[in-house]
Amino acid sequence: MPAHKSSTTFKLSTGASIPAVGLGTWQSSQSEVYDAVLAALESGYRHIDTAYAYLNEEAVGKAIKDSGIPREQIFVTTKLAAVQQLDPTSALNDSLKRLDLDYVDLYLMHWPVALNPNNKSHPLIPILPNGDRDVLHDFDFIDSYKVLQELADQGKTKAIGVSNFSIKNLTRLLEHPSTTIKPVVNQVELHPYLPQNELLEFTKKHEILLEAYSPLGSTNSPLLTDETIVKIAKNHNVSPATILISWAVWRGTVVLPKSVTPSRIESNFLVVDLTSEEGKQLDNIHKEKGIKRLINPKWSKIDVFTEV
């Protein structure tokens, strides 16, 4: 079959459906994101991913409203920022107000780390005099996850999940006696240079979906000129981005390509059916190129990506 609009949905462990391809909005400014979300919804996307920390929730919500598409047909995710960890209830209430929505479909803990909200040096990333991020080292993400569970019970979010969680942190969360609602997803950086094979195997076993952020390799991506990806793209007469998006769906992961360019937004909603041979070639790229994490914020002394 030639390139076609994605119609794949996955099931969350709550039973709800989530469209496999969603619009990513990290680094999309308020002024850009309004048109981007409208273009995406016009192209057929029904899944929009935002976060408090992207500082664009108001424009995302306005575009959703202005699209005229019934609310229940759109899957909306937002996230609890590190600086909001001590008060998830106010954080979600404020996000809902900015989005002008009664509920979100998914609320994610953005990082397993808290930043000091009383340090006013920066609204999102407070810094200590020595330049390090003001991380609350005594913070335990278990405590804010407890509140996320309450928010799910109240219906303010239909589901809860996490982001940037390692196997070690997920294991701790799943095994903790206070965890009564399993995270439905873990959103992480995911592409052929960082295929996250162990994490994928672990999350599949626990019925947690992996969601791919920066699936194209973010800004100035080396993936878009990778010879294996370019060759497979030529075979299908599509862009390298379409191959990266198709590969993510082929592996059973949600994929969140970001763009503010209408033509790219439209083409990023197209997928091709990869052969198993092509899938394997993409799976194997990292063996030759090495593992490359492209997004790696410095959380003071904490390495959130450390595995067991």
Return residues touching ligand A2P (CB under 6 A): 24, 214-219, 224, 239, 241, 257-261, 264, 267-268
Helix, strand or coil, per DSSP, at residue 152: helix
b/e string for 215-246 if b means 16 or more Cβ within 10 A? bbbbeebebbebebbeebbeebebbbbbbbbb
Pairing outcome for strands 23-24 and 17-19:
unpaired
Paired sense of beta strands 4-5 and 9-11, if any? unpaired
Report in angstroms how near the CB of residue 233 gets to ligand A2P at its nearest: 10
Provide the minimum distance between the beta carbon of 186 and ligand A2P in the complex, in angstroms, as a whole number: 17
Q: How far is the CB of 212 from ligand A2P (least distance, A)?
A: 8
Nearest approach, Cβ of 137 to ligand A2P (angstroms)?
A: 30
Q: Which is nearer to ligand A2P, 2 or 129 (CB)?
A: 2
34 is catalytic: no
Is 206 annotated in a binding site? The answer is no
Catalytic residue among 34, 45, 54, 107: 54
Nearer to ligand A2P, 117 or 215 (CB): 215
**Furthest-apart CA atoms within the chain: distance in Å:** 58
At 18, which helix (H) or strand (E)? strand 17-19
Specify the DSSP element, H or E, that contains 9.
strand 9-11
CA Rg value for the chain: 19
The catalytic site residues sit at 54
Q: Which residues are annotated as a binding site?
A: 110
Q: Which residues are annotated as a binding site for substrate?
A: 110
